[in-house]
Amino acid sequence: GAVVSQHPSRVICKSGTSVKIECRSLDFQATTMFWYRQFPKKSLMLMATSNEGSKATYEQGVEKDKFLINHASLTLSTLTVTSAHPEDSSFYICSAKSHPNPYNEQFFGPGTRLTVL
Amino acid sequence: SQQGEEDPQALSIQEGENATMNCSYKTSINNLQWYRQNSGRGLVHLILIRSNEREKHSGRLRVTLDTSKKSSSLLITASRAADTASYFCATERAGGGNKLTFGTGTQLKVEL
């Protein structure tokens, strides 16, 4: 149980285009989803927290108009990188939490590698 | 901001040896978690230790937590080549809304 999927696993796009990444909880309802960004050989940096049915909360320094997050259902959150540029190239990982969650455990997706040319 | 620092940054050992990784953090926490990441893949949750716990075991893993020193260690006993991966600690800050702050990670290489 507790499987989280991401789609696509890899995406290459041209500079200036927008890219949508999906995060799905496959066998549980995720009241909260988190989006992280990871540069090569670096740690994960939290970008935003997404609660179903409400606006996402962004971490300091993350542009909300650049990284649009939609958590429209209890099993799906999407991250759209708008007007992507080469510096947006990164590994994007989502995680999901259910409620109740006595161990406060987050379940991570396999990640999406974005390359902007 | 990144609050977790891990050392060593990289560790190379022989199969069968034990591997110890350390994590330090700066604020009060609800719990500390350890994750494993194979190259270019997602994270796998290994173990969670609560702030009122001092030691926890899971298979070949042993985690300790010293809240007075704000540090934790992960010990992998009898390592295997398949343990080769990056290991991250992550802290859930007290009053932090369940958000996790990840450490800088330790790259472990287990050689045959």
Q: Which of residues 21-80 of B touch A (CB under 8 A)?
A: 30-31, 33, 35, 40-45, 48
- The whole-number pLDDT of residue B93 equals 87
Whole-number Å distance between alpha carbons of B15 and A40: 26
Average pLDDT over residues B56-62: 97
In this structure, the strands spanning B85-93 and B71-76 are unpaired
- Nearest chain B residue (CA) to A48: B99
Cross-strand pairs, B48? B33
- The whole-number pLDDT of residue A1 equals 62
Contact residues on chain A for B42, CB-CB shorter than 8 A: 6, 93, 108-111
User: Cβ contact (<8 Å) for B2 and A107?
Assistant: no
Cross-strand pairs, A5? A24
Residues in chain B: 112
- The whole-number pLDDT of residue B95 equals 80
Contact residues on chain B for A107, CB-CB shorter than 8 A: 45
The answer to whether B104 and B1 have CB atoms below 8 angstroms apart is: no
User: Cβ contact (<8 Å) for B42 and A46?
Assistant: no
The encoded tokens of residue B52 equal 């009122």
- Per-residue confidence band for A72, with pLDDT thresholds at 50, 70 and 90: confident
User: Cβ contact (<8 Å) for A97 and B98?
Assistant: yes
